[in-house]
Amino acid sequence: MLFLKLLQQLVKALNSEGTPGQVAAGIALGAVFGLTPLMNLHNLVLFGCALILNVSMAGVFLGWTIFIPIGFALDPLFDAVGSALLGAPSLQGIWTTLYNVPVVPFTNFNNTVVLGSVVCWVVAFLPLFFLARWGVARYRATLLERLRKTRIFQAVTASGWYTTYRSLSRLLP
């Protein structure tokens, strides 16, 4: 099921009318929803950002889908990173201040997995963006034309859901 969803998102994102930069920004932004535990305030804010910023929504969903299993697999790493940061004596002042500031505690930053995953996502954001932009550009320059000629691609693009997707994507390119 996840594989089919991934394939669907992949086709949508790579063949959208967004620029490689928009798709890559969408993937890098969407990665946060897969990497970090979903039900947290920072994800609500970032989802709002994804809607309002001119990034590819298909890219956001693709990034989200790709990084769900990666997030699960890397949880022990996130836990270790979060533990190291929250337990660091030099950072106690910052954490204590943030813990007692309105609204901030709703981000659950004081949970090791949440903090570790967010920090890892922030660190990976730019490398992820540049890698995705290069990958999308390479794909469009080399594979896209050949794929367009295949029967599967033509069948997919001619299907009802693809027409619906195109109509909606005009609202949210």
Among the residue ranges 7-15, 91-99, 137-145, 155-163, the one whose residues contact other proteins (CB under 8 A): 91-99
Q: Please check whether residue 112 is in contact with residue 82, taking contact to mean a CB–CB distance below 8 angstroms.
A: yes
The Cα-based distances of 118 to 124, 142, 150 in angstroms read: 10, 34, 40
Q: Residues 1-40 vs other proteins: string with x where CB under 8 A?
A: ------------------x--x--------------x-x-
Instruction: Tell me if 105 contacts other proteins by CB under 8 A.
Output: yes
- Closest approach, Cβ 114 to other proteins, in A, equals 7
Instruction: Tell me if 69 contacts other proteins by CB under 8 A.
Output: no
Among the residue ranges 103-111, 120-128, 138-146, 153-161, the one whose residues contact other proteins (CB under 8 A): 103-111
17, 69, 72, 159: residue in contact with other proteins (rule CB under 8 A): 72
Instruction: Tell me if 114 contacts other proteins by CB under 8 A.
Output: yes
How would DSSP label each residue in 61-83? HHHHHHHHHHHHHHHHHHHHHHH
CA 48, CA 125: separation in Å to the nearest integer?
A: 18
CA 40 to chain centre: 15
Instruction: Tell me if 43 contacts other proteins by CB under 8 A.
Output: no
CA 129, CA 22: separation in Å to the nearest integer?
A: 9
Instruction: Tell me if 118 contacts other proteins by CB under 8 A.
Output: no
103, 146, 151, 158: residue in contact with other proteins (rule CB under 8 A): 103
CA 166, CA 140: separation in Å to the nearest integer?
A: 18
Instruction: Tell me if 73 contacts other proteins by CB under 8 A.
Output: no
Helix (H, G, I), strand (E, B) or coil at 125: helix
Cα angle value 44/49/52 (rounded, 5°): 125
Specify the residue for token string 């730019």: 126
Name the site residues for other proteins (rule: CB under 8 A).
Answer: 19, 22, 37, 39, 44, 47-48, 51-54, 71-72, 75-76, 78-79, 82-83, 86-87, 92, 95-103, 105-106, 108, 110-114, 116, 171-173
